Structures are given as structure tokens and as C-alpha cells.
Structure 1
Amino acid sequence: MKKNNPHAEGPDDRVYTARLPLSSATLNYLATLICGHLKRFESPWRALPAGKIAGIVLAVLPCDLRPGDLAGGNGVHRTTVTRWVREVVGLLAARAPRLDRALKKITRSGGGVVLLDGSLIRTRRPTGGENRKNYSGKHKCHGLPVIALTDDRGRLLWVSAARPGRTSEIAACRHDKLTQKLRAAGLGAITDLGFVGLDDSGLDADPAMITGYKAARNRPLTRGQKLSDKALAAVRAPVEHGFAHLKNWRVLGKVRTDPKWATALVRALLVLTNREFAR
């Protein structure tokens, strides 16, 4: 007896729909941004409308879908989707807050302190001589470190540029002159023990960096110092939440080692994250 069982997979591609974990307000904001960009440069033609382009880009960023798969399901080429993603990321990155403006905004709102922390964005790039500068000895992997400031509720205020993995957090802060700008704005930053030694102000000056106490081999911490570190850790908890919201975007798991592209990507995700959590 001959069996004629149909195959589960056919020669044709299958197109399916998926739900994005984003609000319609973010989609409308991105579509309006794309429409304004096209009118500004007198380039109204695109293969798809602005709303559809915004949906495709928002499928790449939070879900890390492949541009080739999205291109096949929407009748465009893979390079077109990649170009759209780069274009939208550049538009969003241009709207990321600058450091001086973010500090002035906190000062006008009556805030006195900000939360400071650093994180490493891992990259997927084979090792080699050219990629050696992106190896982080602290994290034992390749990546790009970034510094971020948040308010006392964990809302991201500013993200620094992505630098090679061998750059320490203190070196990144000194490159951005973070201590001087905080002192000029009359603010203080609560940080972890990784930033001990960053603030080199005198004994009579107000500290711009508030850190805990670090134990030494021959100098253990006292009970009062341990309680102080515990209190600072509780205050610093929102900054960890801010980084967690930022790293919910799965596209950060496949960042290549191009610092310029990584900087634009992180700052674009900062804008989208703030819009999502400001609703």
C-alpha cells in the first residue's frame, strides 16, 4: 500500500505575524519622526509607508529579528531593511539628551544627586589582533563599556559613548569630564566601589562622587562602614533597573565592535526606553 502523506514543509516561504512588546504611542512617534525626516529632505518616496517602516524597525530592535526575514515578509530587499534601521537609529540618536542639558534639567527640577553606573555591552566578534582592544579584563569577554546617569527613580538621563572594552569606567568618566560638570551643576553622583578614586577634589570641597568604603587586606570594614555601604546600595538600586530596561532590547546582544554604530544604537534605545516608561 502506498502512502501519500503530505510534507509539513513546502517550498514556499511562510509569513507569520508577531506581537511587539511596545505601545502604539511609540509606534506613532516613530512613524511621525520618519514622515518629518522625509519631508525635510524632500524624499517622500519609500517602498512602504512610514507606519510600516516603523513597525519593521521596532521588530528589529526589541526582538532582534533578522532583516532578511523581515524583508522577505514585506516584499523588500534585505539591504533596504538594514538601511531603514540605520536611518531610524540615527534619527533617534540625534534626540538623545546631552550631558550638560540633562544635568541642568535635574538642577531645575530641584534634584541634588544622580545615580552613576557603568555596564558592558557584549559583542559577537571573533578574537584577533585587531579586536584585542575590545577585550575587557574585568568581565573576561569582548565588549564596549558605557556610562549612564539616572535619577533617583531609575529613569535614564544620559548615556556616554561606547568605547573599547579595555577602557576602564574611571577613564571613561574622566574623558567626558563628568566630575567637573557635576560640580559645575551643583550635583553629586552616587556610585559603586568601581569609581573609588575618580573624585580628586580637596578636603574642603563638596564631593561630586559619593562612594562606599572599600575593605583592604589588612584593614577590614567597621560596623558603621558596613551599614553605610548597605544604605548606599539600597539607594543605588534604581540605576540597576535603568540598565535592565535598556538591555531588554535584544538587539544589544549582537552589537558589532564599531563604536560609532554602538553609540548611536545605545542612545537611540535610550530615547525609546524613556518614551515607553514615561507613559
Structure 2
Amino acid sequence: MIAELVAAVGPLWHGRHQARLESRPRKRAVGAGAKHLLVFVDRLLATLVHLRHGATHDVPACWFDVDRSTITRAIGEVRLLLAERGCTVAVGVRLRTLAEVIDHLRASGQTGIIDGTEIRVRRPAAGHKDRDRFISGKNKQDAVKAMVLTDATGRLLFCSPARPASCADITHARQSGLVKHLADGPFVEILADVGYQGLGAQTGGQVVTPPHRKFKKNPPDWYEEIYERQRKAHSSRRIRVEHGIAHLKNWRALARHHGRREHMSDTIQAVAGLLSHPQAATLGPGQPQ
């Protein structure tokens, strides 16, 4: 996989680096001057170690015998390139936007599963104007939230940019354009939890959520039995998205993020893209994860 990443991402990095050199006013020829102490392969390895194991930038700086700022700059460049690659669904086929994911589900006739996940982050400094926006109403902790979409087998198809955790799941889905993308085109089934109740009416029943409880007080026994059976049937169908989120959280950079919050979107999308590649290689159509 490392060789494939080098072949796919390396030319992009070299192209952007060359364009950046040519865009600035220069007094010497392009390519002259000091050379990189850190080649691209080492930059890629430092980024992967940071994402997978949550190692601070000082650790790879010590390994490669360069300054910490060099590692910080390298990780920032490579992480952005990894995030832009999207999620792999087949050889040579990658999905980068939510619209592409919906089109893929329609073309393949698969069911999508959607859910939100929260990642703890450092609390903004005192006096920061948006300090309270990152407090999760669910966990009462400072966090950011991302929307994850998988297929019925749990393969990652899409991770949205991160938003402050105070944003509700249904609001996050609307702002990401889910309702708009489902409005145009054939029917596609999207399973969701109670946090998305209300989207079913807006999407013509394409977003399926658990059944509403009709009796809030003193429900008859026959209704409780039917309600529990329907709720468990829905839960057993959408459990695969929880497995996909669990695989994401195995990467230490997403277990708890200690870096800058503005880098969180690139981090989660880069990890999703890296994780989707082996999933596409090992999981066949309809094969459980």
C-alpha cells in the first residue's frame, strides 16, 4: 500500500511544490538552491505514523534527523493530499463528494447507512468567541462532529468535514446537502438513527429512521412487543456504520485530537481514505465486515 500511495500522491506533491516555486518572484533558476533534507517517501511515512499512532511531531523529527517545523510542514502538505483522494470503492474508483456517494448507491442498488461521530478536542482559550460551540450536548465535552456514511457491509464511503459538536445530527446532514442530493434522482434507501428523524418526510421516505413511539404512557403489551421488534430490526441493519466508525477511532489521531481544530476535517477525511483502500480490497459485494 505504501508503494501505491507514493505512486498516487507523490506526483501531486511534486507538482504543487514546483508550482509554488514558479509562482514566487525568483533571482535564481527553478531547482537551484538548497535541496530537501526530507524526501517525499519520508514525508509520507511521517504523516502515516502521526495519523495512525498519534505521535507528536518531535518523534519523526528525531527519526529523520530534521527540525520539528520541517515535520509539521510536511504533515500539513501530505495530509491535505490524502484528504482530497476520497474513499476507495473499487480499483480505480474513488468517491470524493456526497453527491458522488449518492450516485454510487443508486447505480449499485445498495443501501447506505449514516451516523454522526464526535471526536474530543482541546477546549478553546478563555474569551474565545466560539468557545461554547464545541461543547457536546450529549457528552458535555469539547468535541467536533463528523457525518459518516457507509454501505450495508460497513465499508466507508464518505466522511464530512468536521463541525462543532453543538451542531445537531439532522442539522449537520442538511447543511452537508443530503436532502438536496436525495431530491434529484431515483429512490435510494439511507438508514439512520433517531437523531435524523424528520429527514424521512423531507426526502420522500428515502431516509429511514426507527419507528416513533405512539404511546408515551401506559402502552399496551401488544404494542410494546411490536415496537421492540421493529426497533431491534432497524438497529441490526444499521449496526454496520458503528463498526465503520470504530475502525476510524482505532487511529489515534481520531481517538482524541490534540492538534489544531481547523485541521480536523483534513485528518478525518485522510484517515477515511486510507482505511477504505484495504476495505475495498478485502470485502466483496454484500460481504459483512
Q: Which TM-score band applies after superposition, normalised by the shorter structure?
A: 0.7 to 0.9
What's the counterpart of residue 163 of structure 1? 163
State the identity %: 28
Show structure 1 runs of 5+ residues with no match: 1-24
What's the counterpart of residue 21 of structure 1? none
Q: 2:149 is aligned with what amino acid?
A: L
Q: 1:239 is aligned with what amino acid?
A: V
Q: CA deviation at 1:48?
A: 2.5
Q: What RMSD over aligned residues (CA atoms) do the two structures have, in Å? A: 2.1
Q: CA deviation at 1:146?
A: 1.0
Q: CA deviation at 1:199?
A: 2.9
What's the counterpart of residue 278 of structure 2? 276
Does the 8 Å CA contact 1:114/1:149 hold for their aligned counterparts?
Answer: yes
Does the 8 Å CA contact 1:136/1:143 hold for their aligned counterparts?
Answer: yes
What's the counterpart of residue 198 of structure 2? 197
Q: Aligned partners of 1:250 and 1:155: how far apart in 2? A: 20
Q: Aligned partners of 2:249 and 2:4: how far apart in 1? A: 21
Q: Do structure 1's residue 36 and structure 2's residue 11 form an aligned pair?
A: yes
Matches within 5 A, 1:94-109: 94-96=84-86, 97-109=96-108
What's the counterpart of residue 139 of structure 1? 139
Q: Aligned partners of 1:187 and 1:224: how far apart in 2? A: 26
| 179-188 or 114-123, which deviates more | 179-188
What's the counterpart of residue 177 of structure 2? 177
Show structure 2 runs of 5+ residues with no match: 22-30, 87-95, 282-289
| 215-224 or 49-58, which deviates more | 215-224
What's the counterpart of residue 254 of structure 1? 257
Q: CA deviation at 1:195?
A: 1.4
Q: CA deviation at 1:29?
A: 2.6
Q: Aligned partners of 2:126 and 2:176: how far apart in 1? A: 29
Q: CA deviation at 1:262?
A: 1.0
What's the counterpart of residue 80 of structure 1? 70
Q: CA deviation at 1:116?
A: 0.8
Q: 2:4 is aligned with what amino acid?
A: Y
More helix by share: 2
Q: Aligned partners of 2:260 and 2:40: how far apart in 1? A: 30
Larger Rg: 1
Q: Aligned partners of 2:148 and 2:209: how far apart in 1? A: 16
Shift in CA distance, 128/257, structure 1 to aligned 2, threshold 3 Å: farther
Q: Aligned partners of 2:274 and 2:189: how far apart in 1? A: 27
Does the 8 Å CA contact 2:6/2:41 hold for their aligned counterparts?
Answer: yes
What's the counterpart of residue 123 of structure 1? 121
Q: 1:153 is aligned with what amino acid?
A: T
Cα shift readout 1:52-78 (whole Å, capped 9, x = no counterpart) = 222221111101111112102211010
Q: Do structure 1's residue 92 and structure 2's residue 82 form an aligned pair?
A: yes
Q: CA deviation at 1:219?
A: 6.1
TM-score relative to the length of structure 1: 0.82
Q: CA deviation at 1:86?
A: 0.8
Q: Aligned partners of 2:9 and 2:205: how far apart in 1? A: 44
Does the 8 Å CA contact 2:113/2:241 hold for their aligned counterparts?
Answer: yes
Does the 8 Å CA contact 1:125/1:257 hold for their aligned counterparts?
Answer: no
Does the 8 Å CA contact 1:255/1:262 hold for their aligned counterparts?
Answer: no
Matches within 5 A, 1:201-220: 201=202, 206-215=204-213, 217-218=216-217, 220=219
Does the 8 Å CA contact 2:61/2:67 hold for their aligned counterparts?
Answer: yes
